[in-house]
Amino acid sequence: MAKNLKLKAARAALDMTQADLAAVVGVSRQTINAIEKGEYNPTINLCRSICRVLGKTLDELFWEE
Amino acid sequence: MNLKEFFKHDNLDEMQKQTLLKIESRGFWVLWVLLLAALIIESLLGFAPREMAAEWFIFMLGAAYSVLSDLRAGIWDRHLKPNTKTNVVVSVAGGVAVFVWGLIKFAALGAGIAVLQAVIMGVCTWVLCFALLQLSMKAYKKRHAELENPKEDDDENE
């Protein structure tokens, strides 16, 4: 799985750390880290939570061209 | 906090749960293999069935739980297909394993008796394994069909 740089960029744009995002969506920092590194495929529910917090759509963060 | 709340409470997120499941699955199979190895070694060392009864019971309980749960969930195997040809091959492998075990176990009784005992045990194991696999396969196919074609209308059928 490729790295999710779009997620990392969206998080950084809001000046959020991995720990901040993890706390808001209710997961551990290692899970956010694994998603950004492409090591973990999150459930649709977690994807939606992340999108809601970062103000992005699923396509913008998780769609691979 | 009562017991129900304690078990309902979850400290893990989805990735940690998946990781924990993988660890537990690996742990189950390691224990299963080691328990089987212990039973084989103990039987070859001449332990009485009574001395191995507790281990055998736990081993069979674990195996039965795994098989019945899989069948109930309509799951057969990751790699093997549910068909008679595969069941013949797997049951023959079981029979051969028991044949070899019998040869070692009864070697002290002399070659002739050891081979006779081993052949009888190997053939019985093969027949029993094959019958159980065929029965399990039938149960699996029935359950799989039930799950794939639910009787009540769901979103897919509406």
Residue B1 inside a domain? The answer is no
Residue B5 inside a domain? The answer is no
pLDDT of residue B23: 97
Measure in Å the smallest separation between the Cα of B14 and chain A Cα atoms. 8
pLDDT of residue B158: 45
Is residue B128 scored above 70 in pLDDT?
Answer: yes
Inter-chain touch A28–B13, beta carbons under 8 Å: yes
Contact criterion met (CB below 8 Å) for A24 and A53: yes
pLDDT tens string A24-65 = 999 999 999 999 999 999 999 999 999 999 999 999 999 987
Residue B90 inside a domain? The answer is yes
Instruction: Look up the pTM and report it.
Output: 0.79
Give yes or no: residues B116 and B100 share one domain: yes
Calpha distance B86→B82 (Å, rounded): 7
DSSP B109: G
Domain count, chain B: 2
Give yes or no: residues B87 and B137 share one domain: yes
B contacts of A42 (beta carbons < 8 Å): 14-15
Range of the domain at B40: 12-72
pLDDT of residue B6: 84
Is residue B133 scored above 70 in pLDDT?
Answer: yes
Residue B48 inside a domain? The answer is yes
Q: Select from B105, B142, B141 the least CA-distant residue to B121.
A: B105
Residue B155 inside a domain? The answer is no
Is residue B93 scored above 90 in pLDDT?
Answer: yes
Q: Give the HSE-up count for residue B20: Cα atoms under 13 Å, Cβ half-sphere.
A: 8
Specify the long-range contacts of residues B29-33, CB closer than 8 Å, at least 24 apart: B31/B62, B32/B59, B32/B62, B32/B63
pLDDT of residue B154: 56
Measure in Å the smallest separation between the Cα of A42 and chain B Cα atoms. 8
Q: Which fold has domain A5-62?
A: 434 Repressor (Amino-terminal Domain) (1.10.260)
B10 touches chain A (CB under 8 A): no
Percent of chain B with pLDDT over 90: 82
Alpha helices in chain B (DSSP H): 3-8, 14-44, 49-72, 84-105, 111-148
Give yes or no: residues B83 and B142 share one domain: yes
Give yes or no: residues B95 and B58 share one domain: no
B155 touches chain A (CB under 8 A): no
Calculate the CA B81 to chain-centre distance: 16
- Dihedral of alpha carbons B52, B56, B57, B58, sign: positive
pLDDT tens string B13-25 = 999 999 999 999 9
- What ipTM, to 2 d.p.? 0.85
**Closest chain B residue to A35 measured between Cα atoms?**
B15
- Tell me the pLDDT band of A13, cut-offs 50, 70 and 90: very high
Give yes or no: residues B132 and B97 share one domain: yes
**Closest chain B residue to A41 measured between Cα atoms?**
B15
- Tell me the pLDDT band of B1, cut-offs 50, 70 and 90: low
More confident residue, B150 or A34: A34
A contacts of B14 (beta carbons < 8 Å): 27, 31, 42-43, 46
What is the token pair recorded at B126?
């093969």
B15 touches chain A (CB under 8 A): yes
Specify the long-range contacts of residues B105-108, CB closer than 8 Å, at least 24 apart: B105/B43, B105/B44
A contacts of B16 (beta carbons < 8 Å): 28, 30-31
- Tell me the pLDDT band of B108, cut-offs 50, 70 and 90: confident
pLDDT tens string B36-89 = 999 999 999 989 999 999 999 999 999 999 999 999 999 999 999 999 999 999
Q: Which of the residues A4, A21, A31, A48 would you substitute to probe the B interface, choosing the one with the greatest number of B C-beta atoms within 10 Å?
A: A31
Give yes or no: residues B65 and B82 share one domain: no
Give yes or no: residues B87 and B116 share one domain: yes
What is the token pair recorded at A39?
């090591």
Residue B133 inside a domain? The answer is yes
Residue B123 inside a domain? The answer is yes
Calpha distance A2→A36 (Å, rounded): 9
Alpha helices in chain A (DSSP H): 5-13, 18-25, 29-37, 44-54, 58-62
**Residue B81 CB burial class (10 angstroms; 0-12, 13-18, ≥19):** exposed
Q: Select from B37, B27, B26 the least CA-distant residue to B59.
A: B37
